[in-house]
Amino acid sequence: MKFWGLWNLSFGFFGVQIAYALQSANISRIFSTLGADPHSLSFFWILPPLMGMIVQPLVGTYSDRTWTRWGRRIPYLFLGAAVAVAVMCLLPNAGSLQLDNNTKLWAGMSAAMLFGLLMLMLLDTSINMAMQPFKMLVGDMVNERQKKLAYSIQSFLCNAGSVVGFVFPFLFTCLGIKNTAEQGVVPDSVIYSFYIGALILILCVLYTTIKVREWEPKTYAEYNEALEVKNDEENSRPSMLKLLVNAPSAFWTIGLVQFFCWAAFLFMWSYTNGTVAANAFNTPVSGGELDAASTAYQEAGNWVGILYAVQAAGSVLWAMVIPQIKNTKLGYSISLLLGAVGFISMYFIHDPYVLFASFALIGCAWAATLAYPFTLLTNALTGKGHMGTYLGLFNCTICLPQIVAAVLGGIILKYLPQAANGASDQPMMLVLAGILLLFGAVAVRSVKE
């Protein structure tokens, strides 16, 4: 395919990633604002990967069997994006419910927090539904020689979208939009960020749906050099369990690397806000924990968006380097080692600007995590059929480690000694994330191309 053909396949991912970036950078901030305890923050992150484990295998399985005039993957992409747009307009308004937020409902949560959880579940369900088809389009329509380039383009667009999504709250604050609000209410800077992100998301997805024309069954079978693929998918339809049993070894070895990587990134999303607030913004402590209603905490929340944008910018640059590294496994390992250094260094850094270096290094690991696993896996799956189902099942190697990390995160934090300011030692959780990436770099050696 020509470059712009590869570009068009993934351009909608730019908008989807803006939505994902807004979620990643602001969920801990939103729920802290709504009154969540730091020891419970990681539990709020169980919903996104849990929905991914359910939704993405289903999207893969059913899209494998879908042949419509609009394509086989694009209908799912468009439906997921449409739902995501609606939910993005609702989620940041959770704190504005006309109910007494001090009234505790189910499990001691306020009505606002319960509404936020419901919206988070719907948002991640729809984002997962919109995200997975992009990986499947590359698997369907790109040959082995170009897949590393195709997934690097996807990684570039993904991280470019992340930059935009991450800086929105900071940018709107600079434009004069309020960055603080009354107790339990999400600031306008965050609310408007979600509104604009929703608009960009639907425009980008519309571009891909207009520009990309998926192959009909005959052409798909010819280009995948397996006419029996269509017959196998339509007639035998083996169960997911049978497909897992017959999965290539790369499915499992790459999955091991994924476990360490995604557990590390879950800790990053859960505890970066508290780490930056404590280490770099001297956030006051109230009731034994960081005061989430303080100006310092909200300023730290904006700065986290900037740091994530630096991470994404580092990923964009590293995504350009990845195709030049001929030894795939070596490039993968180096990227994860750089990310480990970035995570561990955050524990010792107290200057907001020096943290740029940490997040640029983390960006290298992020770019590799987005590009290498799918390049290795789709090459191993070429000609076997059921590409969508396998990629959907492979998404469990992204979701399961996040669920494990979310369940264990609060428990680990509880048993860590308190930090010097008397609050929970959230920076130590990022040291643990760095150690996990070190294990991931070592596990790359087990992957057979």
Residue 431 pLDDT greater than 90, yes or no: yes
Please name the residues in contact with 373: beta carbons below 8 A apart, sequence gap of 6 or more: 254, 257, 258, 394, 397
Between 343 and 232, residue with greater pLDDT: 343
Q: Residue 138 has what DSSP assignment?
A: H
Please state, for a pLDDT cut of 70, what percent of the chain lies above it.
89
Query: Which amino acid type is present at position 233?
Result: E
Mean pLDDT lowest for which of 46-55, 95-104, 255-264, 362-371?
95-104
CA 284 to each of CA 220, 277, 287, 355: distance values in angstroms, whole numbers, following the listed order: 60, 9, 10, 20
**E strand segments, 211-295:** 285-286, 289-290
Report the pLDDT averaged over residues 184-213: 89
What's the pLDDT score for residue 231?
46
Q: Which of 58, 390, 2, 388 is nearest to 220 (CA)?
A: 388
DSSP letters for 154-196:
HHHHHHHHHHHHHHHHHHHHHTT-----STT---HHHHHHHHH
Q: Report the C-alpha gap between 52 and 48 in whole angstroms.
A: 6
Structure tokens at 205: 């997805």
Residue 438 pLDDT greater than 90, yes or no: yes
DSSP letters for 405-443:
HHHHHHHHHHHSPP-TTSS--HHHHHHHHHHHHHHHHHH
**How close are the terminal C-alpha atoms of the chain, in Å?**
23
Q: Report the C-alpha gap between 339 and 344 in whole angstroms.
A: 9
Query: Cβ atoms within 10 A of the Cβ of 375, count?
Result: 23
Q: Report the C-alpha gap between 377 and 364 in whole angstroms.
A: 20
Going 259 to 154 to 86 to 199, the CA torsion angle's sign is positive
Residue 101 pLDDT greater than 60, yes or no: no
Between 47 and 319, residue with greater pLDDT: 319
> Which domains are delineated in the chain?
3-446 (1.20.1250.20)
Q: Which of 94, 423, 109 is nearest to 273 (CA)?
A: 423
Please state, for a pLDDT cut of 90, what percent of the chain lies above it.
26
339-398 pLDDT, tens digit each = 999 999 999 999 999 999 999 999 999 989 988 888 888 777 766 667 677 877 888 888
Between 123 and 46, residue with greater pLDDT: 123
Mean pLDDT lowest for which of 59-63, 267-271, 386-390?
386-390
Between 277 and 121, residue with greater pLDDT: 277
SS3 content of the chain, % helix, strand, coil (to 5): 75, 0, 20
What's the pLDDT score for residue 41?
62
The size of the chain, in residues, is: 449
What's the pLDDT score for residue 347?
92
Residue 98 pLDDT greater than 50, yes or no: no
Residue 1 pLDDT greater than 90, yes or no: no
Query: Cβ atoms within 10 A of the Cβ of 31, count?
Result: 26
Mean pLDDT of the chain: 83
Residue 414 pLDDT greater than 80, yes or no: yes
Report the pLDDT averaged over residues 220-246: 63
What's the pLDDT score for residue 105?
43
What's the pLDDT score for residue 104?
46
Centroid of chain to Cα 30: 17
What's the pLDDT score for residue 369?
92
- Asked whether the beta carbons of 315 and 159 are under 8 A apart, the reply is yes
Report the pLDDT averaged over residues 65-71: 80
Residue 196 pLDDT greater than 90, yes or no: yes
- Asked whether the beta carbons of 86 and 195 are under 8 A apart, the reply is no
Query: Which amino acid type is present at position 56?
Result: Q
What are the b/e assignments for 153-180, b being 16+ CB within 10 Å? Answer: bbbbbbbbbbbbbbbbbbbbbeeebebb
What's the pLDDT score for residue 138?
84
Q: Which of 72, 68, 19, 9 is nearest to 208 (CA)?
A: 9
What's the pLDDT score for residue 423?
76
18-53 pLDDT, tens digit each = 998 888 777 777 777 776 666 666 676 677 777 777
Q: Report the C-alpha gap between 31 and 43 in whole angstroms.
A: 11
DSSP letters for 88-100:
HTTGGGGGG-SS-
What's the pLDDT score for residue 254?
92
Residue 432 pLDDT greater than 50, yes or no: yes
Structure tokens at 213: 């024309």
What are the b/e assignments for 103-127, b being 16+ CB within 10 Å? Answer: eeeeeebbbbbbbbbebbebbbbbb
Mean pLDDT lowest for which of 7-11, 180-184, 411-415, 420-424?
180-184
Report the pLDDT averaged over residues 239-246: 77
Band (pLDDT 50/70/90 cuts) for residue 217 is confident
Question: In which residue are the tokens 């730290």 written?
Answer: 300
Band (pLDDT 50/70/90 cuts) for residue 226 is low
What's the pLDDT score for residue 153?
86
Query: Cβ atoms within 10 A of the Cβ of 443, count?
Result: 21
Q: Where are the alpha helices (DSSP H) in 281-386?
A: 295-321, 328-345, 355-381
- Asked whether the beta carbons of 220 and 140 are under 8 A apart, the reply is yes
What's the pLDDT score for residue 20?
86
